[in-house]
């Protein structure tokens, strides 16, 4: 089919020690009988893009956390990113500049005004000349009882 698949997932990163005061490591229980009960890791709300050959072609970590994310995940230290993704255009192959976002990334960081150092997702899309925005979301809703 020649498609590109994008999927969101809770990323558990390698245990690289964070700089003091920057990232709080998450602790996970390795289970009964484990020599170490807790293993320090850093968790992110992430999305990955995989091409038709099964190769990871892009990876993004959420920049603007929602309050429920803040209980388990860290903000992406790199902020918003853009990727040149190969696409089939009918006459062969070309690439399209793509920005990824996850849900709360649509809103300004902590709902604070934009500054020269704190840009919005749309500022990033415009600054990087992205032609495609892939947005992974999980909307919350209240269903009647």
Distance from C-alpha of 122 to C-alpha of 129, rounded to nearest angstrom: 10
Question: What per-residue confidence (pLDDT) applies to 52?
Answer: 84
Q: Give me the pLDDT at residue 47, please.
A: 94
Looking at residue 118, its pLDDT comes to 66
Task: Show the low-confidence residues of the chain (pLDDT under 70).
Answer: 1, 14-40, 88-92, 114-118, 140, 143-145
Q: How far apart are CA 120 and CA 118, in angstroms?
A: 7
Quote the pLDDT of residue 113: 73
pLDDT the model gives residue 67: 87
CB atoms inside a 10 Å sphere around CB 71? 9
């Amino acid at each position: 089919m020649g498609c590109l698949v994008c999927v969101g997932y809770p990323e558990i990163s390698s245990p690289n020690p964070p700089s003091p005061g920057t990232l709080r490591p998450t602790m996970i229980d390795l289970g009964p009988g484990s020599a170490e009960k807790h293993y320090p890791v850093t968790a992110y709300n992430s999305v990955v893009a995989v091409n038709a050959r099964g190769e990871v072609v892009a990876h993004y970590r959420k920049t603007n956390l929602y309050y429920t994310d803040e209980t388990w995940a860290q903000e992406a230290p790199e902020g918003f990113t853009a990727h040149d993704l190969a696409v089939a255009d009918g006459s062969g192959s070309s690439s399209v500049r793509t920005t990824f976002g996850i849900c709360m990334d649509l809103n300004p960081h902590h709902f604070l005004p934009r500054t020269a150092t704190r840009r919005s997702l749309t500022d990033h899309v415009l600054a990087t000349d992205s032609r495609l925005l892939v947005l992974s979301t999980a909307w919350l809703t209240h269903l009647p009882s």
